[in-house]
Amino acid sequence: MLGTRLATGLTLVVVLLAILIFDERLAPWFPLWFVTSLVVMVLCALELSALLEATTARPSGNTVLGGTIALVLANWAPHVVRQMSIDPGRIVPPTYDPAATIDVMAWPLWTFVAILMAAFLSQSLQFRKPGQTMATIAGTVLAVAYVGLLGSFMIQMRWFDGPYHGLIPLASLVAVAKGSDIGAYTMGRIAGRNKLWPRLSPNKTIEGAIGGLVFGVIGSLAVTAISRFALHAPCLDWMATIGFGLVVAPAAQLGDLMESMIKRDCAVKDASAAVPGFGGVLDVLDSLLFAAPVAYGYWVFFGP
């Protein structure tokens, strides 16, 4: 199981890096990142909707699917609008604006507001008798927010200012979150004795959590070292790099625990069997979904 998990995790990281590096030639449109984000978010939304079917909060599948797609599109909207306002045929790199990383998040936020209102309207048209409507709206909004809104922070990191755009911040996020996953799993298997949160995930241990924190910091340092010495690109300083690992790794572990709570409440072990060694696509992305807003905010305030 551990070998399969490590092999699958490494393969996914290599594929993601290949997509980001090749897509650099197609800035600022990033079509490969768009397709990847759309496919992954839709699969996560479908898995979460299927999980919630086992609870009273049975979401509207069509609204969840449409809302997730709308949020992915909303992340591209400000950059497409900006590019279309420039002379046709001329690609202009984004100019540095300290407020830009905050301003662009208004697009997915307003889109989410529209989805919330649409969920109410859709259920009002289907209303027949009391007892289920509010639960359906709650499940629908939860699914869209959990996948689409949290995922927006990860998607939007691609447009961070820098010579490689958001490649280095994204690589840092993935390295810390997945390094934390691997460290927690490995150290938990090797030295785990004391349960971390048995009501949510009986297999996770305090020793594993410490190992995840250490591996997360190592992942953060590795990306900064590669950025400085191989790519000669601006990145976090060494103290900020350690800080990034120390705040993002716990957020990643919390994301893993929160998805464990969802699965435990739905009485299932994995979101699906789509990814060998991990379970479902949502099982791979759970740590990133919680870590992305933390990483986004950290990079906005402490990034180069």
Burial class (CB in 10 A: 0-12, 13-18, 19+), 117: exposed
pLDDT by position in tens, the chain (length 304) = 667 777 787 888 888 888 988 988 888 889 999 999 999 999 999 999 999 998 888 999 999 999 999 999 999 988 888 777 765 555 555 444 556 778 889 999 999 999 999 999 999 998 888 878 999 999 999 999 999 999 999 999 998 877 788 899 999 999 999 899 888 888 888 887 889 888 888 888 999 999 999 999 999 999 999 999 998 888 899 999 999 999 999 999 999 999 999 999 998 888 888 988 888 999 999 999 999 999 999 999 998 7
Residue 153: partners with Cβ closer than 8 Å, 6 or more residues away: 105, 292, 293, 295, 296
* Cβ 92 vs Cβ 86: under 8 Å: yes
| Residue type at 53 in one-letter notation | E
Burial class (CB in 10 A: 0-12, 13-18, 19+), 218: middle
Which residues make beta-bridge pairs with 195? 205
Helix (H, G, I), strand (E, B) or coil at 65: helix
Q: What is the DSSP string of 83-123?
A: HHTSPTT---PPPP-TTHHHHTTHHHHHHHHHHHHHHHHHH
Sequence spans of domains, the chain: 2-302
- CB count within 10 Å of CB 6 equals 14
Q: Is the dihedral of CA 174, 10, 261, 113 positive or negative?
A: positive
Per residue in 49-85, is it b (16+ CB within 10 Å) or e — as a string?
bbbbeeeebbbbbebbbbbbebbbebbbebbeeeeee
Report the pLDDT value the prediction gives residue 93, as an integer from 0 to 100.
Answer: 53
Which residues make beta-bridge pairs with 275? 279
Half-sphere exposure of 114 (CA within 13 A, CB side): 13
Q: Is the peptide bond before 28 cis (omega within 30 degrees of 0)?
A: yes
Q: Is the dihedral of CA 6, 11, 16, 17 positive or negative?
A: positive
